[in-house]
Amino acid sequence: MEDASLNDLSAVMADGDLTSESITQSYLERIEQFDSAGPQVHAVLELNPDVLEVAAARDHERREGRLRGPLHGIPVLIKDNIETGDQMHTTAGSLALEGHRARGDAHLVKRLRAAGAVILGKANLSEWANFRGRRSTSGWSSLGGLTRNPHILDRTACGSSSGSAAAVAAGLCAVAIGTETDGSIICPSQTCGVVGLKPTLGLISRSGVIPIAHSQDTPGPIGRTVRDVAVLLGVMAGSDPKDSPTQARPKPRTRDYTRFLVEDGLRGARIGVARNMLGTDPRVIQIVESSLDLMRQAGAEVIDPADLPNLREFEHDELEVLHTEFKADLNHYLGSLGPTALVHSIEELIRFNEDHRNRVMPYFGQEHLLEALSKGSLSSKPYRRALTGCRRLTRKEGIDKLMARERLDAIVAASGGPAWLIDLVNGDSSNWDMESTSPAAVAGYPHITVPAGFVRGLPIGLSFFAGAWHEATLLRLAYAFEQVSQARRAPKFRGTARV
C-alpha cells in the first residue's frame, strides 16, 4: 500500500481485490502509525471525518458501473491553504484561522471530486505558505507543528508544501496537492524524494487557494511517479471564470497527459544544462553528471553548458512584487471571510500574531507580513516597474531566450541540495549555493523535479523546466528519465544521518 501507484490502486479496485473504503482505512492506519505516533512525521494537519463514508459512496458507484474518472476511489491529501467545503478547516497553518470553514470547494477540489477522488485530509504546511517570517523554519505551523523529512527525521522536509511531499514519500496517501509561489512544490518534492510539478501559471485555477501573489501562485501535483503526477495534472487543469489566467491560456490539446509518457521520450531531445544553477557541492554535481550520462544513453542531445541568463538579477524586484501582491491579495481574501473569522486584514493578522506571540511566534517573527503592510497599491510605480523587470528578465531575456538560441526542449539543473538539519533557533539553512526554482517561478513557467540520487541517505532531484505551456514535453522527458534512472527509494524513517 505505501508504495502503490494510482494504476495499482485502480487495478485492485477494478478486480474487486480491494475497495476504496479498505484502501482508505489502510492509509488511516498508516497515518496513525507513522504520522501521529511512531516516527511522527507530522505531515497531516487534519483528517476528513467523512472520509470512510465518502469512500463507501465511491465503492457503491463502482458496483453500479458509474465511474467518475481516473481518480475514482483514490485517497488524496490537500495542502491546508486550499479550501474544501466540508467539515474540514482551511487555515494556512495559522492560529488566526483556527476553526475557519470555507463556504465551498476550491475549483481544483471540485475537479478532484468530479474525477472520483476521496479527500483524505489536509496536509500541514509552512505557515502562510512560508511567507511570514524571514528566519522561518520550513514545515512549521502554529496549528500543525513541525513536519519532518521521512528519510531522516532530524532533516527538513522543506516548504511550504512540506506536508504534501512528506506524506507522499511516507506512503500516507496515494498523491497530494501542493502550491508554489517560488519553490514550494519543487523544494519539498526533491527534498523528500518524490515527483513534483509546478505548472504554467493559469493551467490550474487558484480560486479557493489562500494567496501570496497572483503573478506567481499556482497549485500543482505531487506523486511518487511521473505517471501519477500526469494523471493528477490532467484532472486539475481547466478553465475557471473566477481566475482570469485560466481563461487567457491556450486551450489544451488534451486532458490526458499520460499519452505523452513513452519510454524513449528522451530520444532526439535537446537538453540544455544550466551549469550556473548547479552550485558547488561535488556530490550533487556528480548526481547531475550521472543523470546526464543516462540521458545521453537514452538518445538525448545534451547541450552543455547552457547557462541561464539573468539568474539572480531579479531577486530584489521579485520581493517587491511578492510583498505588494501579498498585501493586496491576502487583504482581499481575509476581507471576504465571514463575521465569525478572527481576522479580516493583514493589519488585524499582525495584531493577532502579536497578541498570541507565545503560540504563533515562538521561533520566528512576521517580517514578511510587516513588509507587505508597508507597500503601496498594485498601481504603484515601484510595483509596476518591478513586475515588468521580473517578467522581462525571466521570460524574454531569460528562459525564452536560452530555449530559442539553443533550440532546446528543456533546461535541466539540480533541484536542490541534501536536506539541511532542522534548526528552530536559527531557521532554515542557506549553506548550499544553488538556485533552481526562481526563474521558472517568477516567469510563471512549468518546472518538474524527479528523484535522481542520494547523498548519505538524503534525496537529490533533477529539474526539467521550459517555456509556458510545455507540460507535455516536460512530462515526456521526466518520465523517460525516471525509467532509466529508477532512483526513487522509500524512506526508512531514520532518526539521524549515520556517522
User: Would 433 be classed as within a structural domain?
Assistant: yes
| pTM across the whole model | 0.98
Number of structural domains found in the chain: 1
Q: At what angle do helices 381-391 and 315-335 cross, to 10 degrees?
A: 120
Checking if the pLDDT of 38 tops 90, the result is no
What mean pLDDT is predicted for residues 287-302? 98
The reply to whether 495 falls in a domain is no
Q: Is residue 457 part of a domain?
A: yes
Does 497 reside within a domain? Answer: no
Q: What does the pLDDT read at residue 435?
A: 82
> Tens of pLDDT along 387-413?
999 999 999 999 999 999 999 999 999
φ, ψ of residue 190 to 5 degrees: the values are -70, -35
Residue 490 domain-assigned (yes or no): no
Residue 39's pLDDT band (cuts 50, 70, 90): confident
Q: Is residue 499 one of the residues assigned to a domain?
A: no
- pLDDT band at residue 251 under the 50/70/90 scheme: low
pLDDT at 430 over 90: no
Rounded to an integer, what distance in angstroms lies between the CA atom of residue 488 and that of residue 166? Answer: 14
What's the whole-number average pLDDT of the chain?
Answer: 96
The domain of 278 spans 6-485
Whole-number percent of the chain with pLDDT over 90: 95
Identify whether 185 is part of a domain.
Answer: yes
Dihedral sign for Cα 101, 102, 104, 110, please. Answer: negative
Please report whether residue 451 resides in a domain: yes
Active-site amino acid positions? 79, 160, 184
CATH of the domain at 333: 3.90.1300.10
What pLDDT is attached to residue 135? 95
What's the pLDDT tens digit per position in 195-230? Answer: 999 999 999 999 999 999 999 999 999 999 999 999
The per-residue pLDDT for 252 is 61
Confidence at residue 432, expressed as pLDDT on a 0 to 100 scale: 58
